[in-house]
A and B are shown apart, each in its own frame.
Chain A
């Protein structure tokens, strides 16, 4: 039956529209696509997050040195700008893609997707994704990785973990770096370890000195690599 009684909006009428639109959904969906793509090619992706200057790049360099005979490795290196760290990593002979975010304080799934298109996924088994130095935002933007590492260092003071509980809730491995400087800084590594345990009983905490490589084998064990 044809309906003739139609209500149409008139000029000057006010409409109240329900949207219920999530702003993070787009990223979460892309992250799932990345995860599926990586799985399909048998690639294990590991997020490396952490504060500025905590030693994320140094940790990745050490991990690459120790793992490159067993795995075919690629690294994504996120930074606002420059390829300084990416060049440092690529000197170890692994495929490295620099991701420059411009003014953004974290990587997102779309940037990672673009970077993935630069890789031959059949030619790698392990991918490290180093995020922009930041303990706040990366927690909200999943990228599609299987495992997550958060790196902090004793030179940032004794409260780095408790001040950023949410990034530690999301992590599999918490790395406390620069332990050779703990005494000089008057910071207790054990206390930081306890802080992680209180916030996330699932996370494995490893104390490292990424300049010498101390503790890096435990990080590898914690990642089950």
Chain B
């Protein structure tokens, strides 16, 4: 949904790092996207290509790792993936805040962020 905004933040932050180090060229940028961010990797790539034109990032490789959503149950201590409601009327599995182990109410603890993990640059 907000691929444009997030990607321009990525490009801006990497450019700042590159300038700090007087990099000639950025070769590779590795990012991690939480699946609960609803960012479509294909659209992120499209924006990346557009936004890096005529910068030291142009032509660099964008590596995207996707991270699953993680929940934690304060009741029983479960930590892991969501439970899903399998209702045939929905035609798809719908995630729920019910704990898959004990039925308590879980908190979302992972998969809601986007990180720039590493940047490879030519100095």
Which A residues are closer than 8 A to B by beta carbons?
Answer: 9, 11-25, 104-106, 134, 136-137, 140, 159, 162, 165-166, 169, 195, 198-202
Interface of B is mostly: mixed
Known contacts A14-B27, A201-B98; is A24 also within 8 Å of B112 by CB? yes
Q: What distance in Å separates the Cβ of B93 from its nearest Cβ neighbour in chain A?
A: 10
Question: Once the chains are docked, how many angstroms separate the CA of A15 from the CA of B115?
Answer: 19
Bound together, the chains give a CA A23 to CA B10 distance in angstroms of 8
Please give the residue numbers on chain B whose beta carbons come within 8 Å of chain A beta carbons, in ascending order.
1-2, 5-6, 9-10, 13, 17, 21, 23-24, 27, 36-38, 85, 87, 90, 94-98, 105, 108, 112-123
Q: Are B114 and A22 in contact (CB under 8 A)?
A: yes
Measured between beta carbons, the chain A residues less than 8 angstroms from B38 are 136, 166
Which one of B13, B36, B37 has the highest number of Cβ atoms from chain A below 10 Å of its Cβ? B37
Interface contact A21-B123, CB-CB below 8 Å: no
A residues near B105, Cβ cutoff 8 Å: 201-202
Whole-angstrom CA separation of A158 from B65 in the bound complex: 34
Given known A106-B2, A136-B1, A136-B38, contact A14–B114 (CB-CB < 8 A): no
Of B5, B17, B121, which contacts A104 at CB under 8 A? B5
Q: Which residues of B contact A200 (CB under 8 A)?
A: 96-97
A19 to B18, alpha carbons, bound, how many Å?
12
Taking a contact as CB atoms under 8 Å apart, the answer to whether B21 and A15 are in contact is yes
Q: Chain A residues with Cβ under 8 A from B117's Cβ? A: 18-20
10 A-B pairs in the complex with CB atoms less than 8 angstroms apart: A14-B27, A15-B120, A16-B120, A21-B115, A23-B6, A23-B113, A23-B115, A24-B113, A198-B85, A200-B97
What CA separation (Å) do A105 and B6 show in the bound complex?
Answer: 12
Residues of A within 8 A of B118 (CB): 16-19
Q: A21-B13, A104-B5, A165-B95 are in contact. Are A11 and B113 (CB under 8 A)?
A: no
Bound Cα distance A162, B86 (Å): 11
Q: A14 and B115: CB pair below 8 A?
A: no
Q: Flag if A12 contacts B116 (CB, 8 Å).
A: no
B85 to chain A: closest residue by CB? A198
B108 to chain A, nearest CB (A): 7
Q: Are B112 and A11 touching (Cβ within 8 A)?
A: no
Structural contact, A13 and B113, CB atoms closer than 8 A: no
| B1:A14 contact, CB within 8 angstroms | no
CB distance from A79 to the nearest CB of B (A): 17
